[in-house]
């Protein structure tokens, strides 16, 4: 088995301590949470940090809370905890759907929500889910904390706005009543990265879509979102023709890349098909929520 290069190691006992260590060691330091994105890269020597700052002891960062009209998820929350959270599922079926198909049950036990988001893989399911829900990322740094929209969090493949001396601490999702959400993914095998995946949330007033959120991953959607398709949906009926047209628009605005998972035209097709399907799911759940 391949093994990492030499690295130094520090254990952070609090957020402040982690930030101090980041400041001390500079850009050669990496935050180590579950390690299930970072350590595989280190083993293949695609990444060779100088120092690892282990934050697994900062149990304060592990929570799923309701705070008014917000669901707050601490970034050290393990995928398995988010999957098992009845609270999260009650308000955001999309999160439960997505976690169900992220990696595998054993990886989910230790990999963290924050770790996956910060790894920023262009095929990351949670990136699409949080984009669909228009989440907010809370980032702590030496000068305090700042908030960044989930749709501005990623700056490119494997790149986020989190600076070398900053730490992503929380994701906030606004809870709005009357919505329904869902997530659907196509992959070559259980546990594999998506070939394409879509998450959506819709809010209905009768048969009219008052608002929608659509997230896409692995298909080169800008900021993991389908903003144009969302715009199209607002104010329209929730009929199947509308949903299919939204899928087409979402697909038009993707820039998928051909790789061994599939050629670009197939991925674009998947973007359309999955957007349509997940919108149908979200609509039916929204209708269920209202009835």
Partner 1 sequence: MHDRDTGGNGAYGSIPRKEDARFVRGQGTFVDDITLPGMLHGAILRSPVAHARILSVDASAALAHPRVEAVLTGADLAERGLAWMPTLSADVQAVLATDKVRFQGQEIAFVVAQDRYAARDALELIAVDYEMLPPVIDARKALDPDAPVVRDDLVRDDVVRDDVPARARNHIFDWSAGDKAAADAVFAAAAVTVSCDMVYPRSHPAPLETCGIVADHNAVTGQLTLWSTSQAPHAHRTLYAMVTGLPEHKIRIVSPDLGGGFGNKVPLYPGYLCAVAASMVTGRPVKWVEDRSENLMSTTFARDYHMHGEIAATADGRILALRARVLADHGAFNATAQPAKFPAGFFHIFTGSYDLEAAFCEVTGVYTNKAPGGVSYSCSFRITEAVYLVERLTDMLARELGIDPAELRMRNLLRPEQFPYTCPTGWQYDSGDYPRALKLALDIAGYDDLRREQAERRARGEYMGIGISFFTEGVGAGPRSHMDILGLGMADGADLRVHPTGKAVLAISVQTQGQGHETTFAQIVAHELGLTPDDVEVVHGDTDRTPFGLGTYGSRSTPVSGAAAVMAARKVRDRARLVAAAMLELSADDLEWLDGKWRVRGDPDQAAGIAEIAMAAHSSLELPEGVEGHLDASAVYNPPNLTFPFGAYICVTDVDPATGEVKVRRFIAVDDCGVRINPMIVEGQVHRGLADGIGMALMQAIAFDEAGNCLGGSFMDYLLPTAMECPSPELGTTVTPSPHHPIGAKGVGESATVGSPAAVVNSVVDALAPLGVVHADMPLTPANVWLAIQGRPVRADLAVS
Partner 2 sequence: MRVTVTVNGTGYTREVEPRLLLIHFLRDELGLTGSHWGCDTSNCGACVVWLDETPVKSCTVLAPMADGRHVRTVEGLSRGAVLDPVQQGFAACHGLQCGFCTPGMMLTARWLLDRNPDPSEAEVREAISGQICRCTGYENIVRSVLWAARHESAGGYEAPDRGDGADARP
Where along the sequence are the contacts to partner 2 (CB under 8 A)?
1-9, 11, 32, 35-36, 39-40, 42-44, 52, 54, 56, 80, 103-107, 109-110, 190-191
Q: What b-and-e string marks burial along 252-271, b requiring 16 or more CB atoms within 10 Å of the CB? A: ebbebeeeebbeeeebbbbb
Residue with the two structure tokens 């980041």: 22
Q: Which of 11, 9, 5 has the alpha carbon at shortest distance from 48?
A: 5
Of 60 and 265, the one with the shorter C-beta distance to partner 1 is: 265
The three-class DSSP label of residue 9 is strand
Q: Is 190 in the site for partner 1 (CB under 8 A)?
A: yes
Q: Residue 266: name its binding partner from partner 1, partner 2, none (Cβ under 5 to 8 Å by kind).
A: partner 1
Of 17 and 269, the one with the shorter C-beta distance to partner 1 is: 269
The single residue among 67, 189, 241, 291 that binds partner 1, judged by CB under 8 A, is 189
State the nearest-atom distance from the C-beta of 281 to partner 1, in Å.
14
The two most distant CA atoms of the chain are separated, in Å, by 60
For 120, the token pair is: 């920023």
3-state secondary structure 26-83: HHHEEEECCCCCHHHHHHCCCCCCCEEEECCCCHHHCCEEEECCEEEEECCCEHHHHH
The single residue among 274, 278, 282, 283 that binds partner 1, judged by CB under 8 A, is 274
State the nearest-atom distance from the C-beta of 104 to partner 1, in Å.
8
Q: Is 258 in the site for partner 1 (CB under 8 A)?
A: yes
Pairing of strands 179-186, 196-205: antiparallel
Residues contacting partner 1: total by CB under 8 A: 27
Q: Which of 128, 125, 288 has the alpha carbon at shortest distance from 280?
A: 288
97-136 footprint of partner 1 as x/- string (CB under 8 A)? -------x--------------------------------
Of 45 and 146, the one with the shorter C-beta distance to partner 1 is: 45
State the nearest-atom distance from the C-beta of 28 to partner 2, in Å.
14
CB 276 within 8 A of CB 241: no
State the nearest-atom distance from the C-beta of 249 to partner 1, in Å.
18
For 112, the token pair is: 């963290």
Q: Rounded distance, CA 242 to CA 9, Å?
A: 54
Q: Rounded distance, CA 95 to CA 133, Å?
A: 9
The single residue among 63, 110, 158, 266 that binds partner 1, judged by CB under 8 A, is 266
- Per CB under 8 A, the segment of 58-66, 213-221, 233-241, 266-274 that binds partner 1 is 266-274
Q: Which of 194, 169, 183 has the alpha carbon at shortest distance from 130?
A: 183
The single residue among 131, 195, 216, 229 that binds partner 1, judged by CB under 8 A, is 195
205-244 footprint of partner 1 as x/- string (CB under 8 A)? ----------------------------------------
The binding site for partner 1 (CB under 8 A) comprises: 1-3, 5-6, 45, 104, 186-193, 195, 258-263, 266, 269-270, 273-274
């Amino acid at each position: 088995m391949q093994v990492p290069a030499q690295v130094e190691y520090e254990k952070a006992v609090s957020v402040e301590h982690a930030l101090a260590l980041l400041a001390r060691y500079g850009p050669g330091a990496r935050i180590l949470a579950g390690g299930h994105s970072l350590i595989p890269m280190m083993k293949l020597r695609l990444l060779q940090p100088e120092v690892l700052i282990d934050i697994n002891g900062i149990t304060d960062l592990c929570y799923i809370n309701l705070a008014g009209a917000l669901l707050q998820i601490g970034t050290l929350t393990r995928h398995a905890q988010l999957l098992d959270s009845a609270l999260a599922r009650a308000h955001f079926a999309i999160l439960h759907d997505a976690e169900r198909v992220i990696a595998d049950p054993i990886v989910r036990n230790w990999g963290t929500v924050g770790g996956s988001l910060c790894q920023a893989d262009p095929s990351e399911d949670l990136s699409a889910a949080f984009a669909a829900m228009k989440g907010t990322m809370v980032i702590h740094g030496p000068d305090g904390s700042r908030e960044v929209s989930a749709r501005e969090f990623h700056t490119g493949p494997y790149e986020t706005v989190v600076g070398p001396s900053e730490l992503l601490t929380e994701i906030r999702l606004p809870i709005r009543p009357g919505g329904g959400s869902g997530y659907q993914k196509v992959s070559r095998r259980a546990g594999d990265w998506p070939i394409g995946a879509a998450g959506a949330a819709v809010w209905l007033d009768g048969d009219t879509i008052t608002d929608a959120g659509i997230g896409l991953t692995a298909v080169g959607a800008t900021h993991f979102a389908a903003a144009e398709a969302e715009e199209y949906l607002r104010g329209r009926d929730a009929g199947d023709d509308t949903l299919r047209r939204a899928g087409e628009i979402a697909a038009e605005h993707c820039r998928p890349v051909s790789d061994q998972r599939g050629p670009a035209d197939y991925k674009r097709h998947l973007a359309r098909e999955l957007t349509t399907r997940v919108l149908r799911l979200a609509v039916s759940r929204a209708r269920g929520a209202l009835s």
